[in-house]
Structure 1
Amino acid sequence: MPPLTLQSSVLLSSGHTLPLLGFGVYQNRTECYSACLAALKTGYRHIDCAQIYLNEAEVGRAVRDSGIRREEIFVTSKIVSKNHGYESTLKGVEESLERMGLDYIDLFLIHDPLSGSRKRIETYRALVEKVQEGKLRSIGVSNFGVKHLQELLAQHFPIPPAVNQIEIHPFCQLVDITTYCRENNIVIQAYCPLTRSLHFTHPLLQRLSHHSRSTPSVTPAQILLRWSLQKGFVPLPKSTSPSRIAENADLYGWELSEEEMTELDGLDESQVERMIPVEVGKKKGEKKAGGEKWKRGGSVSWGGSVVDWREGDGL
C-alpha cells in the first residue's frame, strides 16, 4: 500500500473515487461558508453535508467560489427519514441541487433507517433513478445496521450502496457492521472521528501524542484521525477554526505502529451490553403510544448513544 497523503482516495463500487479525508459541516450554519473555503484552501477535496444540516447553500457557494474545478471536489448530501419515500426523494434531490447551485452531487445518502422497510426501499429506488439521470454520481446509506444493509442488497438494485456512513472511532468500532461492509464492497465513512472531543484526555491518547516511538509530537485529534485512515475508513472531522482545520489535515509523513494500532483497537466500547431508550416514529414534543422502544446497545451510534437498530418492529 502506497503511503497515505492528503490526495489519497478510495475507488467506490460506482467507479468514482472518494477522497479519504473529508470535511464535515454538521451543526455549522453561521460559519459554514468560511470554514469550507478554509478547508478547500488547506487541501481538502471532500465536503460532507446533509439536507437536515440546513447549510447546503453555503457548501455549494464555497465550492463555486473556491476557484477549484468542480470535478476536483467531492460533495455529499443526505435525506433524513422524515422526507423518505419515492416521490419525496426525487423532489428532495432536485431541491438539494438547486440549493447548492450544482449540476450534480457526488454522493447522496439515506441519512438513517428510521422510516421503516418500505420507505427505505422506495427512497433507494428514487436515488438509483437520479444516478441514471446523471444528477447523482454515487449513492449509499448512513446509520444502517447489518439488517438494513442485507435488506437493501436483497433487492438487487442495479446500483448497490457504495458507502455506509456511521460513527466510528477507537471507542466505537462497530465491528459487526464494518466487517459486513468490507465483505460487500461498501466503504465506511466515519462521522464523529474525534469522539466529540470526549476522549482527548484518555491516558493512551495522551501517551501516544507525546511519547510515541513512531510519531512526531501530535495531538489526540491527529492520533484518532490517523487511526481511522490506517483502518481504511474515511474520517469526516469538522471545525470552524482555520488552524484546527489545517491541524486535522496534517496526518501524513508519519504513521502509527502495528503495536499502537492494536492498543487503540483495544479501546472499543461499542459492544458493551446496555439498554437504551429510542424514540421510534415520534415527533419532538408528541406523545404517542408505543413510540418508545428499548434497544440493546452495540450496533450504531445515533445522537451520542450506541443503538442497536436491528431489533424492533418498524426498523
Structure 2
Amino acid sequence: MAKMNMLQAINSALMAEMETDKSMLVFGEDVGHFGGVFRATSGLQEKFGKQRCFNTPLTEQGIAGFANGLASSGITTVAEIQFADYIFPAFDQLVNETAKFRYRSGAQFDVGGLTLRTPYGGGIAGGHYHSQSPEAYFTHTAGLKVVIPRDPYQAKGLLLASIRDKNPVIFFEPKRLYRASVGEVPSDDYEIEIGKADVMQQGSDITLLAWGAQMEILQHAADLAAKEGVSSEIIDLRTLAPWDVDTVAASVKKTGRLLINHEAPLTGGFAGEIAATIQEECFLSLESPIARVCGLDTPYPLNHEKEYMPDALKTFEAIMASVKF
C-alpha cells in the first residue's frame, strides 16, 4: 500500500497498464512531456516514449475520432479531454460513432478498447467553462459506459477495470478531489467491478445516493443528521451506465426513503432517471417522495459558486424534510 492522491492513483493505473499492455496508447492535449494540465500523465512519455504517450492538436472532435480509429484497429486507447466542458465538440463522435460502432457493424467491429478520461465538476473557482458536470448526456446513449470514482483507491481500481473492459468507457474524474483526496492505494494490480454500487455506510431511516466528489458532501450531511437521531445509509453509485438498480432498490426497501445528490443541474440530471426507476421498483415501500438535491438550472456561476453547489447543509435540510414528511 502507498499513500496517494487521486492524480497519483490515476497515474499509477495508467503506468501499470502501459507496462502490461504494450499496445496501449495515451494521448490528448498537453499530455506528453507536460503531463496534462493537472499532471495526471506525468512521466508516461519519459518512460514509454513519444509513440505511446503524445500530444494532440487542440481539437476534441479530432481526439475522439482518432481514438475511434485506433480502437477499431484493436489498439488499447486512452484519450484525455482536458476538461469535461470541452467534450461537447466531440459529442457527435462519441454518441454516433463510439457508442454505435459495434451495433452498426453487426458485432463484426468494435471500439471496446477505448477509454476516454476527463475531469469534471466545480469547486475550484473555474467558472462556467471549467466546472460543468455533463455525465447525464452520455447515460442517454446505449453503447457507452459511464464511470466516476470518489477517491484514490476507487480511481485506480475503476480506471484499470475501464481500460480492460470490452466496451467504450467515459471516465469522469472529479477535479476538485485531484489533490484534496488522499488515501491508501495498493501498489499492485487490482480492479473494481464496473456496474456495482458501493454501500459505504449502513443505515435504517433514509438512503443517500451520489457519486464522485459529492460523496464527501453526503457523508457530512449524514453526520449532521445523525446528531438529530437519523440513521443514513450511504451509497456511492460509481457507475452511471449501467447503474446498479438492485443495490439501490434493496436499500430503499429497507429505509423507505431516498435522497439523490449530484452537482449537475436538476432538470435532466441523472437523479431523475434514478427516481423514476426506484419509484417503480419500491413504490409500496416509500415513506416519502424521493428527494433530489442538485445544482441549479443556470450556467455555472463563478461569483455564486457556493450558492450553486448542492452542499451538506442543503442536503441535511432535505434529509430532515424527508424523514419528517
Shorter-chain TM-score: which interval? 0.3 to 0.5
TM-score under structure 1 length normalisation = 0.35
